[in-house]
Each structure stands twice: as structure tokens, then as C-alpha cells.
Structure 1
Amino acid sequence: MLSRSLRRAATGGAAAVLLVALAACSGSGSSDGRLSVVTGFYPLQFVTERIGGAHVKVTNLAAPGAEPHDIELKPSQVGAISNAALVIRFKGVQPQLDDAVGQNAAGHDLDVSTVTPPATGPNHRGATEDAGAPDPHVWLDPTRLAAIAGDVSGRLAKLDPDHAADYANNTDALLQELTKLDGEFAAGLKQCRRHEIVTSHAAFGYLADRYGLTQLALSGLSPDTEPTPQQLATVAAEARQAGATTIFFETLVSPKVAETLATEVGAKTAVLDPLEGLTEGGTGDYLSVMRTNLEALRTALGCS
């Protein structure tokens, strides 16, 4: 049974030329009659597709296998932003998208950072270069993704009231799945020998907070930042003290730093997916990848 609160929660010259040409024809639908929605990266795509169903055409700006933070928008993507009925983004994650929305999509965007505001470096030990910076990885807590789903549903229904009942039904189904996932994580991580997760970068603070874990991160919020030798030594010492058997790395960045730490500590490496994007050619969706994450965590932490 879903709670009432969860239901309620629930660019360069060429681009500029293209935008001038498109400004007069900014629309709300795709050529096949579906509502046209642009999303910044995968978790927003997942939510929108699950809620919109057959009534929505979703264009995701971050390609599979590509790191979404530093996307460089193509003219065609800027045109899609200009023509979309709705652009769904997380302000601050993709600066070029923020700029494009400000110039060409003001008034028809949804900034999900206003739905579940980012905390300042939640549950973040180890690296210090991003201390005090807001952490955008809210989708790794299923209850926060549920809140985002609620606002996406409301905006789609407002734009397309003829299909509002379908959007509401799809939202209820998604919220039930997210509630089930949250319960699986809570039960699966309740009784573990260890509670520290050692990660290559500090993407998992919300997940750690939700399920009573502590995150030890080699680098800060940016996956591209290389840890200093001092940071490596500090995290290695804490990982040994915690009895860590696993150092986690991510799907879209090099595992070399995690492998170096694992060698130093005498641990193995494993993948913990921050779900910023799916791997190229990969299968599954948010729910299945999160369940894979849960099994990786249970193994690493010695959970019963």
C-alpha cells in the first residue's frame, strides 16, 4: 500500500542559427502526435518513459556509455530542446543544458532539483575537494526518485489532460515498484558485518544515508577527479580499519584508481553503478540495475 505522502510526492554559432530558425515553430508534440519530452540523463528518461507510456516520445540527451555531466549539445539536440513540450533536467548537472533551457526553453522545463533539493555532500568521508558542494545523485534513493516521478506525472497531465488518467495509473504502478525496491534494499542491508562502502567517487551518499551505510570515497562528486596520494593513503587506512573486502568502481569511468586502492588494501574490485547512464549495448533498466547494485553491496558487506 502506498502512503499518501508518496503518492503526492509521487552552444556555438551553428546552434544559434538553428535556434533562430526554430524559434517560431516551438511546439508541444512529435510528428506522430505524441508529447515530445527531452530529458538530460538516464534516470529522468526512465521515469518519463514509465509514466508517459505510449503517449510520450522521449529524447534523452546523454548517449548510452557516455558520461552525462560534460555533454556538448549538437545543433539537432538544441533544436529538440527548443521544440519540446517539456524539458526535464537537474540544474547544475549539465551546464550546457541549463544554458540552452535558459535561452530557448524557459517556461517549458521541469528542474527536478526543486522537487528534491540536493544535500551538501551527504554521508561523504574520504575525499574533501567537493566538501560543501551539493550532491545531485538523488535518484540512488528510490524514495527521492518517487518524489521526482510525482512532479513529472503532474506536468505531463497538465500538458496532455486527455491522457491524465493514463499518466496517473502509470505513476501509481511506478511508485509501487519503487516502494518495493526500497523495501528490498532496507531488508537486504539490515544485517551486515560491515557498513562502510568504499567507492571510486562520492556518488552514493543518498543511498548510504537511506540504508544506514557510510560512504568512503576516493574522489569527490566529479568522477573525473584523480585522488591525491594523500587521499589514497587516507582512504586506504580507513578501508583497512573497516575491514573492507571490496573497492567499488563505476561503469562509465576507468577502474584504474579503484584497482590501485584494492591492491593497496588487499581487496577485490566490483561495480557499483551510479545510474547516470546505461552502458552502451547494456540491458536492463533502473530497477534491474539497482537490484544488481543491491546484490553487489550485500556481497561486499557480508549481509545475511
Structure 2
Amino acid sequence: SRAQQRIARARPAAAAALALLALTAGCSGAREADPRPTIVVSVPPQAWLVERLVGDAAEIVVMIPPGASPATFEPELGQLRALSRASLYVKVGHPHFPFEATSIDRLLAVHPELRVIDLSLGEGSADHDPHLWLSPARVAAMIEPLAEALKTAVPDAADELPARSDALRRDVAATDAALRSVLASARGKSFLSVHAAWGHLAADYGLIQIAVEQDNKAPDPHRLAELIDRARALGIAVVFAQPQFDPASAELIAAELGARVEWIDPLARDWADNLVRVAKQLAAATRETAAQPDRAVDR
């Protein structure tokens, strides 16, 4: 009947309204039970850094959840609520980081009272790669200003911050040493990545990143053909893709090269372990490309 059809059409809207009401009530209760300050960060590796510095003294909210693309993701209701109660926002801060440019900056303008720390530390005007956290040297430089900001934002952690900062510096240095060891055999070698996420890591450890996309844009057919010819000449055996994006382009290029697709994630939360995993994948891939000439790298 028409009445039954109207009821059926109304159900999704009613369900959505009830879900929103439940979420609001749940959030309110959770905040009453959890008086800790809220720290909001843009990407999961920043959450790892904050957690290493303050432990469980703060609620840490990540704006870009696992699996989401920084190029297309828009904050959801729970994240907007977290932003409204936050005592500190930790930005990537790079002008070419699309998520902050399209979503976060306008949201922060609505919350002028919210303290913001920019972890680009002024870098980025002449560099189009926003993935600064993939460079251990840059992460080491982030620790002191981040700890200083957290001293005010999370007062209960202030006394432990010096010791935690020292421990974090040691772990970052150990990660750097591990990457230098793992990637020693890959110096001067090229690897092919669909997304231009690994430029800082490549530069730090003497590798050459060949990126298919530039500024989150796919290449035109002429440039793509040139890239495939270059990769074929180098004997590239692995095409690296990022799990936040559609694998179709990586699979297409791999098929053209007779190569395989492997996944490396620049947004993984377990920063240190992830970089070592990625380094091992890069080193293994360059060992397979036996046709590659060695190139001198001045670093």
C-alpha cells in the first residue's frame, strides 16, 4: 500500500536520526567519564609521536582514519566533536598536504581559540612533498617543539616530558640507523612508486624515487609512456602502491612491465616499525632490478 511505501521510505531517515541521537548521547557520556585533554592530529604517525610523549594522559584523535585518502577524506561528526573540545591541534603544516588545505584550515578558522602546532617547521615552500614524517631526521627535529606544546596542552604529562622526549629521540635515532643499514645496498638505485610519497626518505638514504603521480595528479599518456619505458630500461620488478588509493593504475603499470604490485603505507601509525618494513621492501625490490646501474649519490 501507499502507506507502507511511505513508512519504508521514512525508515532510513528515522534510523539516521536515531543513530545521530545515540552518538550524541554516547559522546556526552564518554566525555563525562574521560576528563583527559584531547589532542587532535592530522595523520596516524603524528598520533604515534604524541602517544610516545604523553602516554595515556591525553585522548588522541586522528583526523584521517586508517585506509582513508588525504586527497578526498572529509572529517566526520565524531572528529568534528573532538576538534571542538581539543586543547591542541597537530598539523602536518605543509602547503601541499591536500587534507589540511581543503578541510582543516577552514575548520580551524572556526576555532580561533584552539592552539595549533605546525610540524612542517617552516619547510615546504620549495618542496612539493608533504610527507615530512617519513624522514627520521625531520621527525627528530619535531620532538622538541611538539613536547613544548604538549607541556601546556597536557599538564599531567609535563613532569615526564623531558624523559619521554629523550627516549623518543633515542628510538628515532635507532630507526635512522636501522634504515641506513637496511638501505645501504640500495644507494643509487631507483624504485617506482605510483604516489610521490617517499621523496624525503629516498633523499635521506640515497635512493631515487620514480613517481608516477605528481601533486596527486595522474600523468598524461605521453608522460606515462616515458615512465614505463624508463622503468623497463632499469629492470624495475616491483611497482609500489599506497593502500589508501585505487590499485588500478599500479596494476596496469605492473602488467606493462611484467612486474608485481607491493603495498607500502606512508600513513601507518606504527611509525618506526613501518619505516623499517618499508626499507626492507625497497631494498629487496632494488636487489631484484639487476639491470640497474649503480649511481653515485652525494649524501
TM range (shorter): 0.7 to 0.9
2:95 paired with 1:103: no
SS of alignment partner, residue 262 of structure 2:
strand
Shift of 1:218: 0.8
Question: Which residue of the partner structure matches residue 142 of structure 1?
Answer: 136
- Give the distance between the partners of 2:275 and 2:90, measured in 1 at CA: 22
SS of alignment partner, residue 201 of structure 1:
coil
2:247 equivalent among 246, 255, 260: 255
1:240 equivalent among 223, 229, 232: 232
**Structure 1 residues 198 and 88: alpha-carbon distance in aligned structure 2, compared to 1, 3 A threshold:** same
2:277 paired with 1:292: yes
- Give the distance between the partners of 1:294 and 1:74, measured in 2 at CA: 33
- Give the distance between the partners of 1:240 and 1:189, measured in 2 at CA: 22
Higher radius of gyration, 1 or 2: 2
Contact 1:258/1:269 (<8 A) preserved? yes
Q: Which amino acid letter does the alignment assign opposite residue 112 of structure 1?
A: L
Q: TM-score when scaled to structure 1? A: 0.76
Flag structure 2 segments of 5+ consecutive residues without an equivalent. Answer: 1-30, 289-299
2:84 paired with 1:71: no
Deviation per CA, 1:245-300: give whole Å up to 9, x if none.
2111111112221221122222222122222x56xxxxxx1122211101101110
- Give the distance between the partners of 1:34 and 1:244, measured in 2 at CA: 50
**What is the aligned-residue identity percentage?**
28
Relative to its length, the structure with more helix (as a share) is 2
Question: Which residue of the partner structure matches residue 184 of structure 2?
Answer: 190
Shift of 1:110: 0.9
1:44 equivalent among 43, 46, 49: 46
Shift of 1:31: 5.3
Shift of 1:75: 4.2
2:147 paired with 1:153: yes
* Greater shift in the superposed pair: 96-105 or 192-201: 192-201
2:207 paired with 1:213: yes
Residues matched between the structures, number: 253
Contact 1:193/1:302 (<8 A) preserved? no
SS of alignment partner, residue 62 of structure 1:
coil
Pick 1 or 2: higher relative contact order, CA cutoff 8 A, min separation 6: 1
- Give the distance between the partners of 1:103 and 1:90, measured in 2 at CA: 19
Contact 2:212/2:227 (<8 A) preserved? yes
Shift of 1:162: 4.9
The root-mean-square deviation of aligned C-alpha atoms, in Å, is: 2.2
Question: Which residue of the partner structure matches residue 36 of structure 2?
Answer: 34
- Give the distance between the partners of 1:141 and 1:289, measured in 2 at CA: 12
Contact 1:198/1:239 (<8 A) preserved? yes
Flag structure 1 segments of 5+ consecutive residues without an equivalent. Answer: 1-28, 122-133, 279-284
Q: TM-score when scaled to structure 2? A: 0.77
- Give the distance between the partners of 2:241 and 2:171, measured in 1 at CA: 27
Contact 1:194/1:244 (<8 A) preserved? no
Shift of 1:178: 1.1
Contact 2:192/2:238 (<8 A) preserved? yes
**Structure 1 residues 100 and 30: alpha-carbon distance in aligned structure 2, compared to 1, 3 A threshold:** farther
2:222 paired with 1:230: yes
Deviation per CA, 1:3-55: give whole Å up to 9, x if none.
xxxxxxxxxxxxxxxxxxxxxxxxxx985332211111211111111111021
Q: Which amino acid letter does the alignment assign opposite residue 177 of structure 2?
A: G
Where do residues 165-184 of structure 1 align in structure 2 (5 Å cutoff)? 165-184=159-178
